[in-house]
Amino acid sequence: MLFLGLAGIAIGLSWLAYFRVLQLGPASHVAPIDKLSLPLTIVLAVAFLHEPMTLRLAMGVLLIACGALLTTG
């Protein structure tokens, strides 16, 4: 229960920071950078939790990252 509570606090703070960044910059640049959290999560899961990395998963991560970077350009 402690970790669930801490996770809830962290998510709340994350959203507050996200909305603050949206006030400071254009949404077309902020939102794609936020979407890079999914590829980062997958890479960390493979590195530290030893989850399997399939070719399909690797291609998906690469496409998400490329799409996010292309939309910020």
- Tell me what percent of the residues of the chain surpass a pLDDT of 90: 75
Q: What pLDDT digit, counting tens, does each position of 47-68 carry? A: 999 999 999 999 999 999 999 8
What pLDDT does 49 receive? 97
- Asked if residues 51 and 41 have their Cβ atoms less than 8 Å apart, the reply is no
Domain that holds residue 8: 2-72
- 25 CB neighbour count, 10 Å cutoff: 11
Residues 6+ apart with CB under 8 A from 72: 28, 29, 32, 33
Q: How many domains in the chain?
A: 1
